[in-house]
Amino acid sequence: MKIYGIACDKSGYPAIVQYIASDHQDICFTSIVKVPCLGVIKESEMLEALETDCDILLLAGCPLDSCHNLQGSRFAQRRAIKVNRLLEEAETTKRVYLSFGTSEKIAELKRVLDLARTILDKQPTT
């Protein structure tokens, strides 16, 4: 599974680094972009990321109830929902997945990526 990652520098990026260090060989990050807060990511930037050679776009940020910038993770969540609706209408298999966690608790990131893998595996091949 090829993943384009966008991660906040406070929680999401360290979580991805920790996840990669824990030896997940079936996961390939084509790119990881570190941003000050997921709240700065616009819908158009999500769509541009999905145009690259990736299967999914992963947004990794602070937990919703403890975002360093208060509402950044919630803003990203609302925008990702809109983008996923557009992707469904376009009948593409690519999706935006969100993980809100920390480097100390990468179980949430693992859960999200396992879910993405399961869904991708069920997609018909062309």
Q: Per-residue b/e over 71-97, b at no fewer than 16 CB within 10 Å? A: ebbbbbbebbeebbeebeeeeeebbbb
* pLDDT over 60 (residue 126): no
Query: Which one, of 29, 94, 26, 108, lies nearest residue 61 by Cα?
Result: 108
The per-residue pLDDT for range 73-97, each reduced to its tens digit, is 889 999 999 999 999 999 999 999 9
The per-residue pLDDT for range 2-59, each reduced to its tens digit, is 999 999 999 999 999 988 888 666 778 899 999 999 999 999 999 999 999 999 999 9
Query: What are the structural domains, with CATH classification, of the chain?
Result: 2-121 (3.40.50)
Alpha-carbon distance of 53 to 8, in angstroms, equals: 22
**3-class secondary-structure state, position 25:** coil
